[in-house]
Amino acid sequence: DAGVIQSPRHEVTEMGQEVTLRCKLISGHNSLFWYRQTMMRGLELLIYFNNNVPIDDSGMPEDRFSAKMPNASFSTLKIQPSEPRDSAVYFCASSPDGDTQYFGPGTRLTVL
Amino acid sequence: AQSVTQLDSQVPVFEEAPVELRCNYSSSVSVYLFWYVQYPNQGLQLLLKYLSGSTLVKGINGFEAEFNKSQTSFHLRKPSVHISDTAEYFCAVSEGNTGFQKLVFGTGTRLLVSP
């Protein structure tokens, strides 16, 4: 049984470039969460969706960040333009019941 | 607003010794409480959760935690640790009446188990 799948696992890019992170939910799950983890700020919730609808995006840092769920099993997090301070590990998590969250392995983003 | 405090950033312990990782929370409403574990270069994995009922919650890998409402604590314990328990442990809280599980995480406690 496949868990949450994230791609790429590692991304190195230059400041100003567009970055797209991808997440595939576990089949049957209806909630999707995007988190960012840094040494300075710990684990922060960026946005979460329920049934493909964004419920709370108050954690999105600024307009450079956007997230979508084009269908029930897939989500993207886009940063445009990227900045060095966006360097972090980005996790997505899915949930079948709004209770237990299942995390993906993360994408380590480095912006030079 | 909710918040979670994990006072210990790092806890060193010898193999087979008991361990307690501390977690305190603040919230003005009823809460759900969670402990997650993160192994190196991996995502978070749920250890255990408290939603309601018995205040002593048992989880995977021999861990347990006790919800103490009067002390607003949810400390994680294991009677005998293994080398493989070396990892980062995160306590998290969500408000019990939101309908959606918006988690607020603590800063984490790194458990270091040595032989």
Neighbours of A17 (CB within 10 A): 13
pLDDT tens digits, chain A, 112 residues: what are they? 679 999 999 999 999 999 999 999 999 998 999 999 998 888 999 999 999 999 889 899 889 999 999 999 999 999 999 999 999 999 999 998 777 889 999 999 999 9
Please write the tens of the pLDDT for every residue from B12-63.
999 999 999 999 998 777 788 999 999 988 889 999 999 888 889 999 999 9
Q: How many CB atoms lie within 10 A of CB B74?
A: 28
Q: Is B44 on the interface with A (CB under 8 A)?
A: yes
Query: Contact B43/A99, CB-based, under 8 Å?
Result: no
The pLDDT score that the predictor gives to residue B73 is 94
Chosen for mutation from A10, A99, A102 (greatest number of chain B CBs closer than 10 Å) is: A99
Residue of B nearest to A43 (CA): B105
Cα A40 from Cα B27, distance rounded (Å): 23
Nearest-neighbour CA in chain B from A17: distance (Å): 25
Closest to A10 (Cα-Cα) out of A112, A109, A97: A109
Q: How far apart are CA B111 and CA B38, in angstroms?
A: 10
